[in-house]
Structure 1
Amino acid sequence: MGLLDRLPDTPARASRELMLLLSLGPALMDVRGYGAPEVGATYTRARQLCEQLGETSQLFAALLGLRIHNVSRAQYAVGRELGERMLHMAQQAQNADWLLEAHGALGACMFPQGELGAAAAHLKQALALYDPERHQAHVFAHGVDPGIRALNFLALILWLQGYPDQARERSMDALALAQKLAYGPTLAFTLAYAAELHQLRREAPLVRERAEAAIAVSIEHGLPYWLAWGTIFSGWARVQPGNLQDGIAQLREGLRAEQSAGGAEQRSYFLATLADCLWRAGDVEGGLRTLEEATAIVNKTGEHFFDAELHRLKGVMLLASVSEAERVIASSDEAQACFLRAIAVARAQGARALQLRAATNLARLWQRAGRLGEARQVLSEVFDTFTEGLDTGDLRDARALLDALPSSSARTIDDVRG
């Protein structure tokens, strides 16, 4: 780039600079992190040069890089605007490769915003256009394989929507493609997202396996962003009885590392995970403070995909923060309100997995209060909609609770809301 500074300011010089910037962008994403300031500056300058030169094809690449940068910094509204412009350009040009990237970009933006159905639709459209052999070159031009990216995001959405087995299948498809591609950054990305899916499925041994693999790949290839994610999930997997504090310390280390790499994506989810670990370690107040931090991030960024879990965890911790004598009173007010709010948010988003968790907690609360019929109804209402994943932890817990609740007529949950 220094040599370009010596050249006269001509279209030829601008074209050379643009070519260098678009080649530099993916490398900077890998070695600095997707949200690093250098990445944003590189693609912003590339966009300026494209608009100056009228380079439509290269403008698409610059917008794609900016979209990745902004989403990694939790600037979802900006990322979505860029994705919508990309889709418009793709439709205007009738370019199938651009359509693949644009649909994938919009799906990746809408997912953290909590628009699960719309995000899944875009990701499925991307996958319908994806040819692994043909589109592998995209990983070198744009920093990520578009099909593998779509599969990783779709796996998380499917879990949230209540399809844990389909989610696992999509994750395994992504991992198989990433291993075949054998490109370090894409493999680390896929391992990190696989760890996230297994964390949601409450499969600690698999979380640890995927996280440690992500760490190893990230160290080998110098990938600070995915090293941070691997560290977070490895920490979570270590938070077991007798080893709580070591795992929490590692989880915190990963959160700091992600921030150092310019990352803020899914921060509310990561903080909810930390809050849950703190509560399990007996630090209820620390857990509640961490949930407040997560809620502030939601309000600032519009990252809503884990809202229901934030409400649910607050209810769990409110119950844990009172004495046994006070628990009956607490059960009937704040905690119940949190669980009901979690159920309503999850239902509105189509996040049946989170609705099931909140309904399980509410059913336990009502069981202790002697409201057995209502407890059974609120839980069976969502449990009975599941057709797969009955061997996963959340569904096993719900089934065991239902088995302990007698069938009887009772007020409906709508009566309780009223």
Structure 2
Amino acid sequence: MQAIGRRTEGLPLYLVHLSDELMVWLEQHPQRTDQEIEVFFEALPENLKLFIGQQFSRLPAETQVILDAAAVAGSGFSPVMLAAVTGCDVLAAEDWCERLAGSRHILVCPSSSYYPERRGSRRYTFIHAYYQKLAYERVPPLRRTGLHLAVAEWFEAACGARVRNLAVEIATHFESGRNHERALHYYRIAVENALGKHDPHAVSALSRRALAILEHQLPATPEYARVAVELYTILASAIQMTHGFAEPTLQSVFERLLHHEQALDESPHRLPILWSMMGFYFVCGQLRIAEQYAERMLAAIGGMVPLDSLISGHVGKMGVGLYAGHLDFALAHFQASQSLYRPELRGMFPLAAIHPIILSLYFSAKTHCLLGLPDQALNYIEQGIAVAETDAQPFSLAFIQWGEIVCRQLRGEAELTEAACQAFISHADEQGFALLSAAAIIQRGWALTILGRIEEGIDTIERGLILYWATGAHLSETFLLAYCAEAFLISGLPEKCSSLLEKAFQIMESNGELYFEAELHRLKGEMLRTSNPAEAERHFQQAIGIAQFQGTRFQELRAANSLAKLWLGQSRPESARTLLEKAYSALTEGFDTRDSLEARALLAAMADGSLPDTSN
């Protein structure tokens, strides 16, 4: 009954006809599927089609002319519009609208409803969308095209500056009226409006409609190539926000973008193109290609490098350094980007899916966590949130908020991670940020497992991994898989833990994402702790060596904790104490993190002789 109510919108005549046909259809289709039921509700009952058609046919010829114009006008129209489009007298058009609205057989006039072209001009609509649909289908194709064009031109003439607010409607009429140049003009305005509202879904849909006209209806000229480059750049950013930076369809978008760019001597969108393509290859896990785009942003153009390009290039190089495990290199490029940036420059990146400075602050936060400076990491996250809130760009804000979840997870704060993920996932789903939502689902699964909600945690992780891989993303995969492996190990699922670790090592070897290599070896050692202590020790030692080489004190302390517990179980307390004291004494902050608390507890137990249980 709810489906019937939604489809009929409570219209009594429609309700009766649809209910009668539904009973007959259900008897004829006892094994119906949900999809077949949806198809049924999309169709208009045949007897109702006949009844409405008879209503239209009984109208006088001059009234049917106005009916055609009303059907083409769409969801709403005024007597002034109908008179202008058909050439009839405005009073006659108003009389026609009033009579049909008064009987409520075909039209309605919502109370206090006025059309934008002038005060006092009432706005009418068809009584139901199907009335408009059937009336529209009765209009011959050539006449329909002419009416669409007339409606679009009327909007332009009558609505003045307010045409920008009606850009989608006007563009649609021009497109149906086959004036493709004007349709493109208004679709571009509609895209600008959607950008101003930070609505990437609308930006994507409208850009695609504009590009369809450019690609199929307009000549291949340098001017249109310039417009195509702009629209493809905007589309790429919108897709990266809504589907993730590694969305497979981006490949074809970039191919068309570069095709049109070749027709230009100089592209004003060079930076956003390079930035979008760098982001694509980054998240696909192809760090070497991403670095090439970062280097192109740093390259001189006509003897100089624009400031926005310099900043973006340094941020790109920083990301490459971080994920390759070269933390000092990453920090050097972070400092270079920060030295160039000023708050008044925040509007320099209008087409970027994520603001480069916000991305740099996220990279910096993650780098500082790895360096064993987790308190400073949270400070960088706070700076990023402040910039994002000022910038009022929803995706940038969501990204840096997700960055806080990453830092909380690295700190081992399971309760805070779980609570933050739960709130974040809801917001990301509402905004349509698929990649960020998928990553947060995985992270929530880890937190649930650490908190003892094993079954729920494992189910959440497995669901998140499916969603994450569906986006085509591979960047930071070793990080996510490491935490998934830890959760599986804690849950008593060593086979699944081993499978994920093997996958993570393969990814590390193939794309050079080395920044979590030490943690992967530590987890391998934890998995072998009982079955093969000697091999476990080898992996723990390897983890410590890699962490020291990379300067990631966070991973060094984690591996030292694991090895110290192994040695304590082998009655080697002095070796354990020496190892742990060295790793713990190197810390200058972050004394409330999970790993710091565990190290301090182990040292205290060794000091008073009450050795802890080191079996897990």
The TM-score normalised by the length of structure 1 is 0.90
Distance in structure 2 (CA, Å) of the matches to 1:77 and 1:86: 15
- In the alignment, structure 1 residue 203 sits paired with structure 2 residue 413: yes
Corresponding residue to 1:216 among 426, 429, 433: 426
Distance in structure 1 (CA, Å) of the matches to 2:301 and 2:239: 26
Corresponding residue to 2:236 among 5, 25, 43: 25
Offset, 1:347: 0.9
- In the alignment, structure 1 residue 357 sits paired with structure 2 residue 582: no
Distance in structure 2 (CA, Å) of the matches to 1:65 and 1:89: 19
- The correspondence of residues 23-172 of structure 1 with structure 2, limited to 5 A, is 23-55=234-266, 57-89=268-300, 92-138=303-349, 140-172=350-382
Q: Tell me the C-alpha RMSD between the 2 structures.
A: 1.9
Offset, 1:259: 1.4
Given residue 219 of structure 1, which amino acid in structure 2 is its aligned partner? Answer: D
Secondary structure at 1:37's aligned position in 2? coil
Distance in structure 2 (CA, Å) of the matches to 1:122 and 1:212: 34
Offset, 1:406: 5.3
Corresponding residue to 1:345 among 543, 546, 552: 546
**Structure 1: tracts of 5 or more residues without a match:** 323-329, 408-418
Offset, 1:285: 2.4
Q: Is the 8 A contact 1:373 1:406 kept in 2?
A: no
Corresponding residue to 1:297 among 507, 522, 545: 507
- In the alignment, structure 1 residue 306 sits paired with structure 2 residue 485: no
Corresponding residue to 1:178 among 388, 412, 418: 388
Q: Describe the superposition over 1:123-171 as per-residue Cα deviations: whole angstroms up to 9, x where unpaired.
A: 2221222233421452x31111111111111101001011111111111
Aligned length, in residue pairs: 397
Report what 2:583 is aligned to. 382
Moved more, 283-292 or 4-13: 4-13
Distance in structure 1 (CA, Å) of the matches to 2:263 and 2:421: 44
Could you say if the C-alpha distance between residues 90 and 366 of structure 1 is closer, same or farther in structure 2, counting changes exceeding 3 Å? farther
- In the alignment, structure 1 residue 238 sits paired with structure 2 residue 448: yes
Report what 1:327 is aligned to. none
Offset, 1:90: 7.0
Offset, 1:92: 4.6
Given residue 289 of structure 2, which amino acid in structure 1 is its aligned partner? Answer: V
Corresponding residue to 2:567 among 366, 371, 374: 366
Could you say if the C-alpha distance between residues 136 and 255 of structure 1 is closer, same or farther in structure 2, counting changes exceeding 3 Å? farther
Given residue 390 of structure 1, which amino acid in structure 2 is its aligned partner? Answer: F
Given residue 168 of structure 1, which amino acid in structure 2 is its aligned partner? Answer: L
Distance in structure 2 (CA, Å) of the matches to 1:255 and 1:89: 41
Moved more, 244-253 or 90-99: 90-99
Q: Describe the superposition over 1:347-369 as per-residue Cα deviations: whole angstroms up to 9, x where unpaired.
A: 11111110111111111211222
- In the alignment, structure 1 residue 404 sits paired with structure 2 residue 404: no
Distance in structure 1 (CA, Å) of the matches to 2:226 and 2:302: 26
The TM-score normalised by the length of structure 2 is 0.62
Q: Describe the superposition over 1:243-288 as per-residue Cα deviations: whole angstroms up to 9, x where unpaired.
A: 2121111122112111111211111111111110011111122212
Moved more, 378-387 or 266-275: 378-387
Given residue 159 of structure 1, which amino acid in structure 2 is its aligned partner? Answer: C
- In the alignment, structure 1 residue 15 sits paired with structure 2 residue 226: yes
Equivalent pairs: percent with the same residue?
31
**Structure 2: tracts of 5 or more residues without a match:** 1-210, 609-616
Q: Is the 8 A contact 1:340 1:362 kept in 2?
A: yes
